[in-house]
Structure 1
Amino acid sequence: MFEFLHSISTWLELFLQGISDNFWLSMLFIFLVCIGEAVFILGLLVPSLPILLLTGGLIAQGSLPFWPIFFAAVLGAIIGDAISYTVGYLLKDKIRTVWPFKNHLKLIDQGEVFFARHGGKAIFIGRFITGVKAVIPGVAGMMSMPYRHFSVINVISAFVWAAVHILPGVLLTGWLKSIGLSLEMVIIVGAIVLTVAFLVVHFWKRILLVFAPFMGEFGRSLQARWQKPEAGH
């Protein structure tokens, strides 16, 4: 597994460094990657996380400018989600009979359940969850979410998403260099950091309940508030 990640990291690093000398080509590449990763179902095939983490590393090294790349990523993410919404809105349930969507019916069903549970918040939350992010905007269109409401959440979440994926690469690069590690480690370390951050944000109540027995009176109050009563009580 590590050898596979090493190979991918090395190839991406060489590729990104190769195009970093051309400002407009770099902008176009990041823009298209961020569109592609958000397109309904097809986004499953676009490895945006390692690309944006390494891009952050190149920004830290001075090979790429931060703001133009950041705004290219934001704009790409907005357009990608808008495309997905439009596809879902136009096709509705017919999407289940159209390739390649018909090959991912289980994922679409999961997206519908997620959207029904979280409503508009699903657009924001779903952008950060691998797999789900490739279907949520399309599901929003299928379920006829008002486009104005969708667009507001789409734009706000795109800014946050781009920052969350680029800034860790920028911040990690200096630290990794200081301990003698190469830029390719940005992908591995960054992916771990983002995964841990997601788990903490998504499961913070459960995590606090695990440590509640060691937190005295405050911990007992959390248990009383959040723990489900046992059967028979």
Structure 2
Amino acid sequence: MAIEIETSRILEFVQANQSMAPLAIFLMAMGETIVIVSVFIPSTFLLFAIGGIMAAAGVPLMPSLLAGWLGASLGFSIMYLISASMGDRILTFWPFRTYTETVGKTIAFSRKWGVWGVMIGHFAGPLRVLIPIVAGISRMRPIPFMAANLLGALGWIVTFFAPGHLVVSSEWFRSIFSGFLKFT
């Protein structure tokens, strides 16, 4: 059975609900940085597509971009605070005790890169959710952590969300695909 997707209906839905776009991007970005939740929200790659869909529907970029930045940095901050308060005990809980090799790789990464690792950590795929946890366990100072977290979260959302929006909203894209899509 083939799935038919009517693009005009999708764009109408997004346009009608554009006030919810920043909240959706905020929750996706935050979920991508929280242990267990991140497994169910593969938002890194979805953000590019959603940015394009939002542009095609005429939804402005900046509110969602800011919301994504705040969501990604808040998720890292929550994981940092939880692990800083629990210390090494957090590693005795599932899923950490099950993935000791991955935790070990993250610890080695954090030792090598220090505070820069927090910034880079936003781009570190499967290690992403562990970076703030290791930073908290190792008692990284809060101000350097937050500075690196904010810069890394901004870089991540700009890298994965903004391009989809900017490409689809460009005149070049619209001229090529105007026969296939009805842009707002």
TM-score (normalizing by structure 2): 0.81
Which position in structure 2 is the counterpart of 1:100? 95
Q: Is the 8 A contact 2:69 2:157 kept in 1?
A: yes
Deviation at 1:146, TM superposition (A): 0.4
Which position in structure 2 is the counterpart of 1:83? 78
- Give 1:45's match in structure 2, choosing from 40, 46, 56: 40
Point out the structure with the larger helix share: 1
SS in 2 for 1:102: coil
Deviation at 1:26, TM superposition (A): 2.1
Q: What is the CA deviation profile of residues 15-59 of structure 1, one whole-angstrom value per residue up to 9, with x for unaligned ones?
A: 786354223422221111111101135423321123211222023
Identity rate of aligned residues, in percent? 30
Q: What is the CA deviation profile of residues 47-91 of structure 1, one whole-angstrom value per residue up to 9, with x for unaligned ones?
A: 112321122202322432111101110110110000111122122
Question: Using a 3 Å threshold, how does the CA distance of structure 1 residues 17 and 32 change in structure 2: closer, same or farther?
Answer: farther
Report the residue type matching 2:62 in the other structure. W
Q: Is the 8 A contact 1:115 1:136 kept in 2?
A: yes
- Give 1:22's match in structure 2, choosing from 17, 20, 27: 17
Report the residue type matching 2:72 in the other structure. A
| Structure 2 unaligned blocks of 5 or more | none
Q: How many residues align?
A: 174
- Equivalent runs, 1:1-233 vs 2, <5 Å: 18-173=13-168, 174=170, 178-180=175-177
SS in 1 for 2:97: helix
CA distance in 1, matches of 2:176, 2:11: 23
Question: Using a 3 Å threshold, how does the CA distance of structure 1 residues 159 and 135 change in structure 2: closer, same or farther?
Answer: same
Report the residue type matching 2:138 in the other structure. M
Deviation at 1:145, TM superposition (A): 0.1
Question: Using a 3 Å threshold, how does the CA distance of structure 1 residues 74 and 116 change in structure 2: closer, same or farther?
Answer: same
CA distance in 1, matches of 2:121, 2:166: 25
CA distance in 2, matches of 1:121, 1:16: 39
Q: Is the 8 A contact 2:61 2:165 kept in 1?
A: no
Higher gyration radius (CA): 1
Q: Is the 8 A contact 2:110 2:131 kept in 1?
A: yes
Report the residue type matching 1:129 in the other structure. A
Q: What is the CA deviation profile of residues 181-218 of structure 1, one whole-angstrom value per residue up to 9, with x for unaligned ones?
A: 978xxxxxxxxxxxxxxxxxxxxxxxxxxxxxxxxxxx
Q: What is the CA deviation profile of residues 122-176 of structure 1, one whole-angstrom value per residue up to 9, with x for unaligned ones?
A: 0111111211111111110011000111011111221111111112212333555
